[in-house]
Amino acid sequence: MGAQEEARRRWDTIAKPLYALGRLEDLVVQIAGIQGTADVRIDRRCALVFCGDHGVVEEGVSQCGSDVTALVAGSIVEGTGNINLMAAPAGADVFAVDMGMQTEVPGTISYRQGCGTGNMTRGPAMTRSQAEQAVHDGMELVGDMKRRGYQIAVIGEMGIGNTTAASAVASVLLGLPVEDVTGRGAGLSDAGLLRKKDAIRRAIRVNAPDPEDPMDVLHKVGGFELAGMAGAYLGGYRYHMPVITDGMIPSVSALVAARLCPEAASAILPGHVSREPVDRMIMEHLHMEPVIDAGMALGEGTGGVMLLPLLDMALRVYHGTHTFEHLGMEAYTREGGST
């Protein structure tokens, strides 16, 4: 019997209506498949916040400058960031990962590919080799976390301008109009949203990324942190570690990872669905059903760590002794009766 079948069988022994915990049961079964055992454990968990800057900020696509990326990364290193505050009650260790910020921040895990990407409205955001290296580094970072004893990882991001790059990648890979996949990000005005959409259209026109080649799309209109997160999802699959998405930008990277390796989607758990319009589209495209829909758009991995306490509660039931056998009652059957 495989780990997933054994996990589902375990759920069916719990004294409750069958499938009463719904998608939480599915997630535990999925984790069993990822870890290769029905003895699901996620006691040691981390949040990896991939940070990078974007040259397209020059086009007025954000309400603040790229200097904010380093400021937030610094707060994460200090332990005072939003993600740190939300990860603490979830028992998750937080790491800021510098994939290519304009300013180096001491205390980050550094995989720097440069001081931010180029302005994608004028040419490729990065070279293909840079994108490939960033993907490789993200994959190996998850492998390193696995070797350090972590059992599950939340994948988050920080980078001023990265909703612009993520929207461009999504538009190309999903074959959808820019208008359908582009939101206000951190709160753009109507005029700012128009500039953002225009910049994405120009970037796609100038670079002509090939939708059949995910790496071509990534290096032309993506970002260093987008590439790193794509690699992290591939690492989840390679190293048998469940990885949790966090809203629109990590979801776009999950889409890239699934295009590079379709099997990688099996290791990805949906943290939440954000209010950015394309996030739900990607979730549906990847056949993911998030259990959290709170209208969030904070980023940094905050929506991802929110899933951890829900999984903890489900696992208390899963590993508990409140079984049909313990109560001395007949088990429910799949047909809804009892045996």
Q: What is the pLDDT along the chain (339 residues), one digit of tens a residue?
A: 699 999 999 999 999 999 999 999 999 999 999 999 999 999 999 999 999 999 999 998 987 889 999 999 999 999 999 999 999 999 999 999 999 999 999 999 999 989 999 999 999 999 999 999 999 999 999 999 999 999 999 999 999 999 999 999 999 999 999 999 988 776 777 787 889 999 999 999 999 999 999 999 999 999 999 999 999 999 999 999 999 999 999 999 999 999 999 999 999 999 999 988 899 999 999 999 999 999 998 999 999 999 999 999 999 999 999 988 888 888 888 764 444
CA–CA distance from 144 to each of 48, 130, 149, 238, 247 (Å)? Answer: 12, 21, 9, 12, 24
At 320, which amino acid appears?
G
Positive or negative torsion for Cα 86, 287, 140, 54: negative
Q: To 10 degrees, the CA torsion angle through 321, 323, 325, 330? A: 170
Active site residue 6: no
d(CA 227, CA 240) in angstroms, rounded, equals 20
Q: Out of 25, 157, 225, 300, which one is annotated catalytic?
A: 300
Task: Using DSSP bridges, classify how beta strands 45-52 and 152-158 pair: parallel, antiparallel or unpaired.
Answer: parallel
d(CA 9, CA 291) in angstroms, rounded, equals 22
Closest C-alpha among 235, 228, 265 to residue 249: 228
d(CA 76, CA 105) in angstroms, rounded, equals 10
Closest C-alpha among 148, 132, 164 to residue 62: 164
**DSSP code, position 11:** H
What pLDDT does residue 339 have?
A: 40
**DSSP code, position 257:** H
What pLDDT does residue 190 have?
A: 76
Query: Burial, 106: exposed, middle or buried (Cβ in 10 Å; 0-12, 13-18, 19+)?
Result: exposed
What pLDDT does residue 335 have?
A: 64
Closest C-alpha among 183, 172, 257, 238 to residue 206: 172
Quote the tokens at residue 44: 């040691």
Domains of the chain are: 45-311 (3.40.50.10210)
Q: Which residues lie below 8 Å from residue 321, measured CB to CB, with a gap of 6+?
A: none
d(CA 46, CA 91) in angstroms, rounded, equals 8
Distance in angstroms between the alpha carbons of the first and the last residue of the chain: 22
